[in-house]
Amino acid sequence: MANQTVKPADGKLGIMVVGLGAVTSTFMTGVLMVRKGLSKPVGSMIEYDKIRVGKGNDKKYLSYREVVPITELKDIVFGAWDVYPADAYRSAIYAEVLKEKDIEPVKDELEKIVPMKAAFDKNFAKRLDGDNVMEGKTRWEMVEQLRDDIRTFKEKNGCARIVVAWAASTEIYVPYFEPVHGSLAALEAAMKADDKEHIAPSMCYAYAALTEGAPFIMGAPNTTVDIPAMWELAELTKMPIAGKDFKTGQTLVKSGFAPIIGTRCLGLSGWFSTNILGNRDGLVLDEPANFHTKEVSKLSTLESILVPEKQPDLYTDYYHKVRINYYPPRNDNKEGWDNIDIFGWMGYPMQIKINFLCRDSILAAPLLLDLCLLSDLAARAGRFGIQRFLSFYLKSPMHDFTKDEVPVNHLFQQYVMLKNALREMGGYEADEEID
């Protein structure tokens, strides 16, 4: 019953990642270890989840690969850009996320993944100090160099298709500026005029990827593809875009736990979230301008799940605070605390405390895998522009703010969107409703 409109996943898929730090090196090492039968892809829904297709007597539970044609792990080729010149093996060792015994068996393959020079501007990430960067290039020259990198990588590795994902640091917040971000023509003009204020380096990657026929995924809270100019480009090139910010620890908890409060019709007085982390991500976020980008993405989750207008008695005037603290001893082992003040019958107060001691890159790696494979699937299915069905994986899902669209942040509604899209692409009926 497979839908013939989805092109098969023939040939190799090049996954080119911006940033070869903890998340990317953990992701690549894991995929290579799984390919050798030395590890398990735990956390990947593509590899483990099953969804129902059909109803009544026709009901079946199938894995994603049985519903739609998804690229096999053996057909993936990895590439990267990074401001630091370390190859993927040295990067994995340096990140200290994985034990050496889980890296050594794929050392030869990892050593061959050497990062290309990054399109980088220190003003967007002041705490980073790498020398593997494009020197003295204007924004437009960066775009042209990145397009050349993608073409060369594709040809050299014999790839049929490419996906580009951002897993690099959070840039400083770039607010929407209509004269530059409002249309594709304006964006291109600003790039050519080397507008360093309104054109973040990440926008050069997104522009290059889409123009070279590669889907683009924004795994940080950067506003890179959250602009009409990029939507226009995605429509023109018929390419999928997804973002933003991998939903790993605290926001995953929030998007899953807030529905408990809402469904049970309990009231909320306040939700205080704080984190400590010590990896390069924490270092960059220690800079207030970069933290602001993250804060905007983390704060947006709750307000669309517990909505004051829908339940004024329960959700009017609750206090929502998010904090991130750089704490080097923890490295990649992030800790998130949530203190939730709720109230129940006759307004009596209660509290919930959640302490999530998570490993950031261990949670992010399978998200990166699924996002890359599902973006490639979407491209082969002819889906382009914002891929709302991937919201499940993302902290601050993309939406058309010019039309006052409210993103879906409720984890279980996002899961319905994901399943329905897979059913549709597999030629089945999208038969679950979002209430």
Mind listing the pLDDT tens digit for each residue in 95-120? 999 999 999 999 999 999 999 999 99
* 276 Cβ contact partners less than 8 Å away, ≥ 6 residues apart: 282, 324, 325, 326, 327, 330, 334, 335
| Residues 233, 242: Cα–Cα separation, whole Å | 13
Measured from the Cβ of residue 140, the count of other Cβ atoms closer than 10 Å reads 18
pLDDT in tens, 265-304: 999 999 999 999 888 888 888 888 888 888 887 777 899 9
Helix segments in 58-168, DSSP class H: 64-67, 88-95, 107-111, 139-156
Picking from 205, 245, 240, the residue whose alpha carbon sits closest to that of residue 116 is 205
pTM equals 0.95
Residues in the chain where the model's pLDDT stays below 50: 1-3
Give pLDDT, residue 200.
Answer: 98
Give pLDDT, residue 377.
Answer: 98
Give pLDDT, residue 4.
Answer: 52
| Residues 144, 204: Cα–Cα separation, whole Å | 9
Quick one: what percent of the chain has pLDDT higher than 70?
99
User: HSE (CB half, 13 Å, CA atoms) of 353?
Assistant: 2
Pick the CATH number of 12-246+362-425 from 3.40.50.720, 3.60.150.10, 3.40.220.10, 3.30.500.10: 3.40.50.720
Architecture of the domain whose range is 250-359 = 2-Layer Sandwich (3.30)
* 361 Cβ contact partners less than 8 Å away, ≥ 6 residues apart: 22, 23, 26, 27, 95, 97, 279, 332
User: HSE (CB half, 13 Å, CA atoms) of 287?
Assistant: 19
| Residues 318, 272: Cα–Cα separation, whole Å | 10
Quick one: what percent of the chain has pLDDT higher than 90?
89
Provide CATH 3.30.360.10 ranges for the chain: 250-359
Give pLDDT, residue 288.
Answer: 87
Give pLDDT, residue 2.
Answer: 42
Provide CATH 3.40.50.720 ranges for the chain: 12-246+362-425
Give pLDDT, residue 3.
Answer: 45
Q: In what order do the strands lie in the sheet with 216-218?
A: 116-117, 76-82, 12-18, 159-166, 216-218, 240-243, 385-386
Whether the CA torsion 174, 389, 169, 251 is positive or negative: it is positive
| Residues 67, 381: Cα–Cα separation, whole Å | 13
Give pLDDT, residue 277.
Answer: 87
